[in-house]
Chain A
């Protein structure tokens, strides 16, 4: 079955960076784009970025451009999201999610990585 397993919770200081991972299994990794979506506690969904694992092409939300980097490793079927210059506003659950081919909908989600930013 399709699984996206994410790395564990992180506590970071303001101004530092965090790198979360998302390991895919149960399907052909290069066939599906992977998105990163975040959700602050009790708040709505916010799109962060997307990667096409087959060629590494990325697209980021304007808000995060310049401080987020999404990469993929086809040897381990993993996607990574690194977010820098962290502030308390970045405290959220970060989810990876698989995009259904030929559409934009996200049909499978990781369990989320909680990133807490606190001094």
Chain B
């Protein structure tokens, strides 16, 4: 089973700042099979990025994804108030899906 480790655990930033979230895999992940979600309190996750770098329908272009192999990144270019939430990466490989433990982006 591929383990995904997200860092940092918590990111304290102000609106307008840039957020860089990391997702590191214990083995190589097929770039087609790497997804990012956003989850707000009391809500189910919402897909932001699929196939490492493709924005899902309706997702603003301030969200971008990159990476390959074992290192993947979600970048929010300028934080809006509604972006403060928890972010998860998700992969499929080695005959199993796994999620990272999440990164909380909080207001500084």
Contact = CB atoms under 8 A, between A and B. Distances in A.
22 contacts: A44-B86, A44-B100, A45-B37, A45-B39, A45-B45, A45-B88, A47-B90, A47-B99, A59-B96, A61-B1, A61-B97, A61-B98, A62-B1, A95-B44, A97-B44, A103-B32, A103-B50, A104-B33, A106-B35, A106-B47, A109-B44, A109-B45
Interface of B: 1, 32-33, 35, 37, 39, 44-45, 47, 50-51, 56, 86, 88, 90-92, 95-102
B96 A106 contact: no
Contact of B45 (A61, A62, A106, A111): A106
Interface of A: 35, 37, 44-47, 50, 59, 61-62, 95, 97, 100, 103-107, 109-112
Contact of B88 (A44, A107, A111): A44
B102 A45 contact: yes
Contact of B99 (A46, A62, A111): A46
Given A61-B1, A62-B1, A105 B56 contact: yes
Contacts of B98: 47, 61
Contacts of B91: 104
Contact of A103 (B1, B51, B88): B51
A105 B91 CA distance: 9
A59 B1 CA distance: 13
Contact of B96 (A37, A61, A97, A100): A61
Contact of A104 (B1, B35, B39, B45): B35
Contacts of A106: 35, 37, 45, 47, 90
Contact of A47 (B32, B86, B97): B97
